[in-house]
């Protein structure tokens, strides 16, 4: 097996069918397969071997798709990096996975400290001027268009997708060919994707949602992928109409923005299917969508560590507010602190078992052992199951902040804030937000005789971490609440802010 077999099959069965559309340019399945072969052969020419890591620091452009598939064709491992990461974050990941090649763009290469990457041998520039490294276009233009994907064992590694770590350092979730292929089959069983479908893809390809649940699922069905660099409201609406999009995938914030937009000037009638994941969909949003459009927003639940699909709500019986039931070949249950199953209706931790569960965290045996126990992946999410086997998210065990589907661990942000010489103590936490789900806030205790402004702290963070991780507000306080052993009580901080937010906020949906 090999994930890249999908594009090869499309090239055989539908050679003249459009596989990918981007900014007025299109690739047939035959063309996409051949240029992917060129990329695969070019990597071989650089000496890349089976099992070595090739990193992608790329926005949503065709070169991401081509590079990702070409890497997998030769049995190498694709490592996708968030394009919002800054120099130190990029350095950590590239060194952690010992990437031999990095494929990026001229603008993003500014965040690549090539002199501090001892394992990195080549930088390939996919877009813009080649100030450093090699032009990707030039490299593949002279490579052969003939290649076949190597056969891989189901447990051989295909991709590493980094998530924020509880220690403040990212950790790489390792996904095998079997993980991704089983997840794609289950996704398409739920979506009922067909070759005639046209999937709009503005979700970031470096994220597991866009990479597996949309791109790989679409290619597996030999459908057409309409790729966009990012979510742009007007562009999305006009593209739905002009390209006759049939399947629409987004996070809850996207649907909130669409609900608050007058879409009467756009023809959305071609869309037969709407789907959301990556963050919990508010019930009122689902209800208003059904009332306005007469269609359900189907919902999935999962994590990067589960490839990401775990549950689906649901074409047999849709239940408002639920994340649905486990997908094919996947088991889920609710357990207590002792790891024992609880009764329907009782609250506990959601655990997952199945072919979608990652192999582990790259070079992190201790952190892997903390979440993988007897074959069950412990999600850190608190939920319940009803008598029909439908699951519901209640809360999170972890302090992780979910901002528009992006995961932010407070420890990572705190490590940055603590670098400022005026900071004595800090606590970072998430608070509810009507649009983004949650936003990042920080309480800071200053050292004696030091003064600093909120703007200065925020600017300090912007220079060191990705923008979405930067606190949106700073509270300067005299102390931070702790328990008797000195652990910060972030629950109290969240409850304090929740009370303020509940008093002050006005729902965007009623505007």
Segment 192-207, tens digit of pLDDT:
999 999 999 999 999 9
How far is Cα 315 from Cα 358, in angstroms, rounded to an integer? 27
User: pTM value?
Assistant: 0.88
Confidence of residue 483 (pLDDT cuts 50, 70, 90): low
How far is Cα 475 from Cα 54, in angstroms, rounded to an integer? 41
For residue range 262-290, list pLDDT tens digits in order. Answer: 999 999 999 999 999 988 888 888 999 99
Note the pLDDT of residue 167: 60
Confidence of residue 504 (pLDDT cuts 50, 70, 90): very low
pLDDT at 362 over 50: yes
The answer to whether the bond into 308 is cis (omega within 30° of 0) is yes
Note the pLDDT of residue 507: 35
Note the pLDDT of residue 510: 35
Note the pLDDT of residue 485: 47
151 vs 1, 143, 181, 317, 402, CA distance in Å?
5, 21, 13, 39, 37
Note the pLDDT of residue 72: 98
Q: What rounded mean pLDDT belongs to the chain?
A: 92
Structural contact between residues 73 and 36, judged by C-beta atoms closer than 8 angstroms: yes
What percent of the chain is modeled with pLDDT above 70? 94
How far is Cα 261 from Cα 243, in angstroms, rounded to an integer? 20
For residue range 49-96, list pLDDT tens digits in order. Answer: 999 999 999 999 999 999 999 999 999 999 999 999 999 999 999 999
pLDDT at 306 over 90: yes
pLDDT at 433 over 70: yes
Note the pLDDT of residue 281: 86
How far is Cα 21 from Cα 23, in angstroms, rounded to an integer? 7
Note the pLDDT of residue 391: 97
Four-way CATH pick for 1-152: 3.40.1590.10, 3.30.2130.10, 1.10.1740.10, 3.40.50.12780: 3.40.50.12780
How confident is the model over 502-508, as a mean pLDDT?
Answer: 36
Confidence of residue 494 (pLDDT cuts 50, 70, 90): confident
Residue 340 per-residue DSSP state = -
CATH of domain 401-510: 3.30.300.30
Q: Where are the domains of the chain?
A: 1-152, 401-510
Task: Give me the helices (H) in 283-390, please.
Answer: 283-293, 365-371
Classify 21 as helix, strand or coil.
strand
Structural contact between residues 240 and 250, judged by C-beta atoms closer than 8 angstroms: no
Angle at 406 between CA 128 and CA 39, to 5 degrees: 35
């Amino acid at each position: 097996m090999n994930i890249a077999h999908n594009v090869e099959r499309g090239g055989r069965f539908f050679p003249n069918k459009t596989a990918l559309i981007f900014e007025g340019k299109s690739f047939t399945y035959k063309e996409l397969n051949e240029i992917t072969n060129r990329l695969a052969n070019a990597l071989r020419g650089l000496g890349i071997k089976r099992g070595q890591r090739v990193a992608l620091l790329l926005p949503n452009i065709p070169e991401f798709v081509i590079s990702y598939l070409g890497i997998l064709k030769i049995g190498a491992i694709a490592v996708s990096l968030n394009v919002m990461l800054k120099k130190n974050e990029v350095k950590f990941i590239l060194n952690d996975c010992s990437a031999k090649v990095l494929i990026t763009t001229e603008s993003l290469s500014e965040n690549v400290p090539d002199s501090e990457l001892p394992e990195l041998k080549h930088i390939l520039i996919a877009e813009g001027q080649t100030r450093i490294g090699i032009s990707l276009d030039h490299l593949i233009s002279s490579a052969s268009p003939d290649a076949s994907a190597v056969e891989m064992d189901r447990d051989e590694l295909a991709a590493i997708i980094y998530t924020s770590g509880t220690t403040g350092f990212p950790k790489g979730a390792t996904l095998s060919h079997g993980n991704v292929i089983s997840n794609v089959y289950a996704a398409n069983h739920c979506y009922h994707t067909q070759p005639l479908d046209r999937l709009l893809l503005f979700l970031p390809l470096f994220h597991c949602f866009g990479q597996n649940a949309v791109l790989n699922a679409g290619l597996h069905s030999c459908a057409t992928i309409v790729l966009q660099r990012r979510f742009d409201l007007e562009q999305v609406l006009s593209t739905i109409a002009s390209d006759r999009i049939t399947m629409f995938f987004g996070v809850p914030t996207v649907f909130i923005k669409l609900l608050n937009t007058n879409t009467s000037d756009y023809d959305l009638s071609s869309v037969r299917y709407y789907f959301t994941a990556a963050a919990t969909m508010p019930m009122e949003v689902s209800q208003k969508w059904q009332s306005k459009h007469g269609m359900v927003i189907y919902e999935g639940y999962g994590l990067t560590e589960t490839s990401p699909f775990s549950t689906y709500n649901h074409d047999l019986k849709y239940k408002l507010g639920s994340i649905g039931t486990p997908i094919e070949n996947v088991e889920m249950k609710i357990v207590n602190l002792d790891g024992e199953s609880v009764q329907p209706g009782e609250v506990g931790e959601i655990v997952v078992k199945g072919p979608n569960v990652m192999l582990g965290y790259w070079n992190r045996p201790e952190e892997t052992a903390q979440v993988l126990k007897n074959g069950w992946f412990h999600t850190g999410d608190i939920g319940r199951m009803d008598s029909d086997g439908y699951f519901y998210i209640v809360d999170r065990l972890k302090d992780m902040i979910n901002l528009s589907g992006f995961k932010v661990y407070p420890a990572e942000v705190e490590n940055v804030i603590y670098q400022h010489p005026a900071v004595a103590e800090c606590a970072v936490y998430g608070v509810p937000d009507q649009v983004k789900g949650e936003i990042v806030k920080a309480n800071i205790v200053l050292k004696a005789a030091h003064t600093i402004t909120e703007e200065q702290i925020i600017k300090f963070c912007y220079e060191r971490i990705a923008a979405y991780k930067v606190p949106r507000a700073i509270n300067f306080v005299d102390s931070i609440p702790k328990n008797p052993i000195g652990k910060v009580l972030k629950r109290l901080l969240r409850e304090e802010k929740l009370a303020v937010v509940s008093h002050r906020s006005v729902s965007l949906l009623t505007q």
